[in-house]
Amino acid sequence: MLNTIGALGEFGLIARLTAGFPQTDDVIIGPGDDAALVRAGDGRVVATTDLLVEGRHFRRDWSTARDVGHKAAAQNLADVAAMGARPTVLLLGLAAPPELPVDWVDGFAAGLAAECAAAGAAVAGGDTVGAATLTIAITALGDLGGVPAVRRDGARPGDVVAVAGNLGMSAVGLDLLRAGLPGPDPCLDEHRRPRPPYREGPRAAALGASAMLDVSDGLLQDLGHIAAASGVAIDLDPAALRPASEVEEAVARLAAAGADPRRPLDYVLAGGEDHALAATFPASVRLPGRWSIIGRVDAGEGVTVDGSPAAPSGWDHFS
């Protein structure tokens, strides 16, 4: 019986990773050839790539293989949606120790497939290699359907700032794991399996969003990218950023355990790995239910909270 990927071999591993994935009309030729052939009906392709390194982005004692599969797909598919595109295809790179159990690969593939299905995407192929550290590389593609891509540099004074998705839950979930504390389960789940609002990206584009991005490094830091690229200032309304009750409960548990947590609002503003969408819209746009207005765009520069300067904070990829 083959219990490790080293015994399974490269082609057996690739077959195992790509079996059972949802296939869509976007994939003309899938796994099995030197390269995939995918349809690009728009004539343009939105493309993004991301890495997950064990010990840096996930831990196998905190997350199941299926959790890691969901997360690997979600953080890439969210970037596609943030451009206003419909996710279509994933390409997978897996570098792993030969002793990695085959069962882990099966769980990872199941999570990846489930998240692709939720976003309407398919896996078109990939590659594997032996390595000392388990590392996952994902490339995601998307289709704009004939509409302009929504960039970071289109915000204008007078626009409103809005978000779709959860803020702060993933980061406080990570702190709970670090402290070895139980629940609230929604916070732990959000860290392990983020739930980006994929369909809200194309919907925002259709509504005329002037700028948009995926909130992955913290709301303040990511909105700072929009402010800098657009040459504007953004002011956030703290009353519109009330933390979820689960975040407040998690902070209370951390404090009771002596873990010295941040304030609930700090998790919302600078938590990271939320994979919500943040966008700016002309003030005249009527926003659908999943979008909540949290601030406004003004002349100037930087990001403020209720008019007060906000210190840059959020995820640092090299700290």
Query: Which tokens is 123 given?
Result: 């896996």
What is the C-alpha separation between 111 and 115, in angstroms, rounded?
A: 6
Residue 170 known to bind ligand: no
Question: Annotation-wise, does 315 bind a ligand?
Answer: yes
Q: What angle do helix axes 102-119 and 65-82 make, rounded to 10 degrees?
A: 30
Amino acid type, 149: A
Q: Is 128 annotated as a binding residue?
A: no
Asked if residue 159 belongs to a known ligand binding site, the reply is no
Before 184, cis peptide (omega within 30)?
yes
Residue among 256, 24, 254, 229 at smallest CA distance from 142:
24
79 marked ligand binding residue? yes
195 is in an annotated binding site: no
216 marked as part of a ligand binding site: yes
Residue 273 marked ligand-binding: yes
Q: Residue 53: what residue type?
A: V
d(CA 316, CA 224): 14
Give the contacts of 231 (CB within 8 A, at least 6 positions apart): 153, 301
Q: Is residue 308 marked as binding? A: no
Residues in CB range of 34: below 8 A, 6 or more apart: none
- Reported in sequence order, the residue ranges of the chain that DSSP labels E, i.e. its strands, are 27-29, 37-38, 46-53, 86-96, 122-130, 135-143, 160-164, 211-215, 233-236, 276-281, 292-298, 302-305, 308-309
Is 50 annotated as ligand-binding? yes
For residue 196, give the amino acid letter: P
Tell whether 4 is in a known binding site.
no
Which residues are known binding-site members?
34, 48-50, 57, 79, 126-127, 152, 214, 216-217, 273, 315
**Sequence ranges of the binding site for Mg(2+):** 34, 48-50, 79, 127, 214, 217
**Which residue ranges are tagged as binding site for ATP?**
126-127, 152, 216
Q: Which residues are annotated as a binding site for substrate?
A: 57, 273, 315
